[in-house]
């Protein structure tokens, strides 16, 4: 963990990973081809646990979901163990309880790396904008 002057680090939220897997759109292209260093806490891997539910909802074969996630998306991510950001957990909990405590690992990692979180979570975005004002 740690960036060079030209390298951008971004924490990627679960909802963006799901978007990258289920849609051939811009999110997938950014994750695969942008050269951005994407980071996520280990909890992100749990997206795979919901594959059947997601696939059933959108009509995607689970084999396709698994291939895209495991072969195209996950290799582009830096998955970070909790021990690497453990010193930010209490601060992250205080922040994330304002919108969703389940997002605490993403917030803790963002605090540790001093990096933005790429998300579709409107509550998280609203809180981020409010805290920057």
- Would you place residue 133 in the very low, low, confident or very high pLDDT band (cuts 50, 70, 90)? very low
Contact residues for 56 (Cβ-Cβ < 8 A; gap 6+):
none
**Residue 110's domain is classified under what CATH number?**
3.40.50.1010
- Does some domain include residue 124? yes
Q: What does the pLDDT average to over 86-102?
A: 89
Full domain range(s) for residue 85:
9-132
Q: Which of 48-52, 103-107, 112-116 has the lowest mean pLDDT?
A: 48-52
CA distance 15 to 48: 12
Q: Specify the number of domains making up the chain.
A: 1
Residue 1 covered by a domain: no
Whether pLDDT at 90 is above 50: yes
| Nearest CA among 1, 32, 16 for reference residue 121 | 16
Provide the pLDDT confidence category of residue 38 given band limits of 50, 70 and 90.
Answer: very high
Rounded to the nearest 10°, the torsion over CA 13, 113, 82, 123 is: -30
Q: Decide which of 74 and 128 is more confident.
A: 74
**pTM recorded for the entire structure:** 0.83
Residue 2 belongs to some domain of the structure: no
Q: Which two tokens stand for residue 124?
A: 């998280």
Residue 3 domain-assigned (yes or no): no
Query: For the segment 65-84, what is each residue's pLDDT rounded down to a tens digit?
Result: 999 999 999 999 999 999 99
Q: Which of 3, 27, 2 is nearest to 17 (CA)?
A: 27
Residue 23 CA to residue 15 CA, distance in Å, equals 12
* pLDDT class of 127 with cuts at 50, 70, 90: low
- Report yes or no: 47 and 69 within 8 Å, Cβ to Cβ: yes
């Amino acid at each position: 963990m740690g960036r060079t002057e030209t390298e951008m680090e971004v924490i990627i939220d679960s909802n963006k990973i799901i978007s990258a897997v289920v849609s051939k759109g811009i999110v997938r292209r950014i994750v695969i081809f942008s050269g951005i260093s994407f980071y996520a806490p280990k909890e992100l891997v749990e997206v795979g646990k919901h594959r059947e539910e997601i696939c059933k909802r959108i009509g995607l074969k689970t084999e396709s979901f698994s291939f895209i996630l495991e072969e195209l998306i996950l290799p582009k991510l830096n998955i970070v163990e909790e021990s690497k950001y453990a010193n930010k957990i209490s601060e992250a909990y205080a922040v994330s309880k304002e919108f969703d405590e389940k997002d605490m690992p993403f917030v803790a990692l963002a605090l540790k790396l001093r990096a933005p979180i790429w998300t579709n979570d409107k509550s998280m975005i609203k809180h981020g904008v409010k805290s920057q004002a």
